């Protein structure tokens, strides 16, 4: 099979494959159709789509130019000037591709070093999420707790734990939150401190709750929120889950994005104990 035949075949077939990476059925503009409306966040997604399109387009054009240079080389026969022109085209396209992809790789490396992908997801895969609905709160947002002062329940926050007891003094408790809990939960939390000896966590919400929660257990003192002090590793999360289960608790680690959940699962954290909740402000444990 001659080199000329291979070049002509590639010229006919490969542009279809190359351009297939460029033509995204969803389009470059991420909003504005019958199902979605545009928001400020979509401007960043549009910019990201343009960058992705540019990289795909440059790659496709490079493939086409490579094939054109190969075609000129295959049809040059004994024409030295055409062979030299084909060689120059090969090298120019190759250097251009190295420049474009090298620049993208440098930016990618810097962005990964600066930002925590486990929390925010990949920098080049932006997601627009709805802001939390504050309509369920009295006023806007959660109150600013005063250290050493037990918060007074707001209007609309149920006070349904007449049997609640003070949190045991051995428990690590964030200052300014409610200081009581259901007796059964109190015993399980004490067991947790014995089974999980690391002192790198604290209870961040007890009873009475500081805000209105979706789950009614917060209004009856039968569950708590907890979190690590500092940034936990996947090993910390796994060990805490195991200790909580051993103590009779049902631990659920809540993260803000499906990407963060998938990443923890890939690192060995049990999938049944991780939940993606878009409206939370930071990853934390709910203990039931």
pLDDT one-digit tens code per residue, 151-196: 554 443 445 788 999 999 999 999 999 899 999 999 999 999 999 9
pLDDT at 67 over 50: yes
Mean pLDDT of the chain: 77
Residue 105 has pLDDT above 90, yes or no: no
Pairing of strands 165-166, 251-255: unpaired
Cα 178 to Cα 148, 207, 209, distances in angstroms: 10, 5, 6
How far apart are alpha carbons 127 and 123 in whole angstroms?
A: 10
Which residues is 170 bridged to in the sheet?
Answer: none
Quick one: which of 162, 259, 260, 254 has its CA closest to 204?
Answer: 254
Q: How far is CA 247 from the centre of its chain?
A: 30
Three-class SS state of 31: coil
Nearest residue to 275 (alpha-carbon basis) of 266, 267, 284: 284
Domain range 134-287, CATH architecture: 2-Layer Sandwich (3.30)
Spatial neighbors of 229 by CB under 8 A, at least 6 apart, are 200, 201, 202
Percent of all residues in the chain with a pLDDT value above 70, rounded to a whole number: 71
Condensed to tens digits (0 to 9), the pLDDT of residues 26-64 reads 567 766 655 455 667 677 778 878 887 888 888 888 888
Summarised one tens digit per residue, pLDDT across range 200-249 is 999 999 999 988 888 889 888 999 999 998 888 999 999 999 999 999 99
263-280: burial string, b at 16+ Cβ within 10 Å, e else: bbeeeebeeebbeeeeee
């Amino acid at each position: 099979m001659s080199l000329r035949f291979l070049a002509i075949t590639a010229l006919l077939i490969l542009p279809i494959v190359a351009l297939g990476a460029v033509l995204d059925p969803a389009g470059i503009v991420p909003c504005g159709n019958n199902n979605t409306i545009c928001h400020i966040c979509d401007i960043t997604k549009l910019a990201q789509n343009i960058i992705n399109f540019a990289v795909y387009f440059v790659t496709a054009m490079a493939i086409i130019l490579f094939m054109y240079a190969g075609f000129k080389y295959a049809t040059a026969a004994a024409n030295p000037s055409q062979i030299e022109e084909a060689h120059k085209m090969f090298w120019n396209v190759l250097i251009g591709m190295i420049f474009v992809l090298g620049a993208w790789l440098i930016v990618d490396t810097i962005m990964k070093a600066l930002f925590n992908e486990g929390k925010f997801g990949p920098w080049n895969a932006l997601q627009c999420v709805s802001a939390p609905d504050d309509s369920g709160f009295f006023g806007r947002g959660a109150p600013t707790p005063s250290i050493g002062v037990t918060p007074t329940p707001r209007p609309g926050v149920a006070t349904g734990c007449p049997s609640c007891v003070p949190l045991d003094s051995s428990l690590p408790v964030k200052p300014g939150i409610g200081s009581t809990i259901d007796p059964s939960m109190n015993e399980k939390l004490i067991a947790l401190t014995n089974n999980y000896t690391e002192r790198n966590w604290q209870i961040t919400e007890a009873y009475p709750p500081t805000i209105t929660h979706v789950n009614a257990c917060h209004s009856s003192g039968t569950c708590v929120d907890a979190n690590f002090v500092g940034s936990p590793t996947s090993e910390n999360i796994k060990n805490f889950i195991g200790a909580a289960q051993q103590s009779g608790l049902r631990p659920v680690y809540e993260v803000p994005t499906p990407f963060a959940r998938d990443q923890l699962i890939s690192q060995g954290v049990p999938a049944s104990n991780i939940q993606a909740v878009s409206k939370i402000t930071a990853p934390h444990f709910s203990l039931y």
